[in-house]
Amino acid sequence: MQLRIGIVGVGGLGYLQAKTFSGIDGVSMVGAADVSAEARRLFEEEFGLPAYDHYRELLAEHGADLDAVSIVTPHTLHHEQAMACLRRDLHVLVEKPMVTDVGQAVELVETADERDLVLQVGYQRHFDPAFRELRRVLRSGRIGDIHAVNCHLGQDWIEIHRDTWRANPALSGGGQLYDTGSHLIDALLWTTEAEPDRVSAEIEYAAPRVDVNCALSLRLLKDGRPITAGVTVSGDGVAVAPSEGYFYWGTEGRVSYVDERITVSEKGAVTYRTEVADDVGFQTLNREKLANFADSIEGTAEPAVPGEVGLRVTALTEAIYRADEAGTRTSVQSVIDEAVAARG
């Protein structure tokens, strides 16, 4: 059975997704939508399929021919586009961040559950061998119970995005925290398998609502045990490519992941060190992400990054902004509870 898919947003990453989907067995593309005439032209020439200037045209013309849609558009557009697809009983893959509002995240997750549809978020570190190995080591228990974490991410983000939609809060929802920083937050929660409990924050803004530097103090909970976490996200770094590091302390040792290397120390002695293969490129991870989406719809795999992950990351991100504005600790669960209550 062929999985019939449409793509909303085929400039940049969306175009790469189209190229990838075209090479996955059992998947056939039906059409696309993009506001850019040049992106539409390139898609039509490359794949011989129709492209429309609005996603509603794609759904109106081909809704009956589609099984799923991949959404690769500016962040604040995700909710409307994803909801329109879910209401047509289409499975949805949405690039990160899933949305930039907790109420919208709750609505997407609840709608997908009610209609028994796959809702998946494009956090690709879940497919990265380095992060999978890091998570495996932490799950093994060799450093005991994790009680503290420190992680950081920095890149020259603001200079390369200052005049793009990513630095326009109306389209991005914020700044670096909702962009590359969202990957860091997701990876922190995924590798520790912990729930965000509360947060304090100090944020520096490059422009109104465009955050560029963040220093966060988090309390996570794992099986009822607290984990203290310190997080630094900088969008005013010295290199375009992101640089990141993760350090975990447990009751029996510590684990670090930095510069493509995972190191484990137990009782003060290094007991495990591995260099992570650096030939795993973006396109390989992209293909695994899209293949998992297709397999999830077919029922041969579980979604690697279900909508609940997007909800959790959005709730923590919104709690961070609230904590900075209020100058106090903010409960992440209270942010979710408010959103649920508002939905009635």
Q: Are residues 138 and 267 in the same domain?
A: yes
SS3 218: strand
Total-model pTM: 0.96
CA distance 253 to 115: 45
pLDDT band at 277 (very low <50, low <70, confident <90, very high): low
Task: Select the more confidently predicted residue: 280 or 93.
Answer: 93
Q: Are residues 147 and 255 in the same domain?
A: yes
Q: Check residue 306 and give left, alpha or beta (phi > 0: left; psi -120 to 50: alpha).
A: beta
Q: Are residues 115 and 160 in the same domain?
A: no
Give the pLDDT mean for 319-334.
Answer: 97
pLDDT, one tens digit per residue, over 124-167 is 999 999 999 999 999 999 999 999 999 999 999 999 999 999 99
Q: What are phi and psi of 76, to 5 degrees?
A: -75, -10
Q: Are residues 191 and 256 in the same domain?
A: yes
Q: Are residues 89 and 32 in the same domain?
A: yes
Q: Give domain status of residue 201, yes or no.
A: yes
- Please give the torsion angle defined by the CA atoms of residues 69, 73, 79 and 80, in that order, rounded to the nearest 10 degrees: -80
CA distance 148 to 299: 37
For the record, the structure tokens of 239 come out as 């290199």
CA distance 173 to 170: 6
pLDDT, one tens digit per residue, over 220-265 is 999 999 999 999 999 998 888 889 999 999 999 999 999 889 999 9
- What's residue 271's pLDDT? 87
| CATH number, domain with residue 146 | 3.30.360.10
Output the DSSP codes for 239-297: -SS-EEEEEEEESSEEEEEETTEEEEEETTEEEEEEEPPTT--HHHHHHHHHHHHHHHH
Q: Which amino acid is at 336?
A: I
Can you give the residue range of the structural domain that contains 253? 125-281+314-331
Give the pLDDT mean for 295-317.
Answer: 97
Q: Which of 11, 6, 10, 15 is nearest to 283 (CA)?
A: 15
| Domains held by the chain: number | 2
- What's residue 83's pLDDT? 98
Q: Are residues 56 and 146 in the same domain?
A: no
CA distance 161 to 53: 24
Q: Give domain status of residue 309, yes or no.
A: no
Q: Which of 316, 140, 146, 313 is nearest to 225 (CA)?
A: 146
Q: Are residues 50 and 145 in the same domain?
A: no
Q: Are 298 and 65 in contact (CB under 8 A)?
A: no
- What's residue 280's pLDDT? 72
pLDDT, one tens digit per residue, over 5-46 is 999 999 999 999 999 999 999 999 999 999 999 999 999 999
Q: Which residues pair with 263 in a beta bridge?
A: 256, 273
CA distance 216 to 144: 25
For 74, 126, 343, the CA distances from 285, given in Å and listed in that order, are: 21, 9, 36
CA distance 342 to 119: 22
Q: Are residues 57 and 136 in the same domain?
A: no
Q: Are residues 19 and 94 in the same domain?
A: yes
Q: Are residues 205 and 300 in the same domain?
A: no
Q: Are 182 and 96 in contact (CB under 8 A)?
A: yes
Q: Give domain status of residue 36, yes or no.
A: yes
CA distance 193 to 257: 16
Return all residues near 252 (Cβ < 8 A) that are at least 6 apart: 142, 143, 144, 266, 267
- What's residue 278's pLDDT? 58
- What's residue 279's pLDDT? 61
Q: Are residues 188 and 106 in the same domain?
A: no
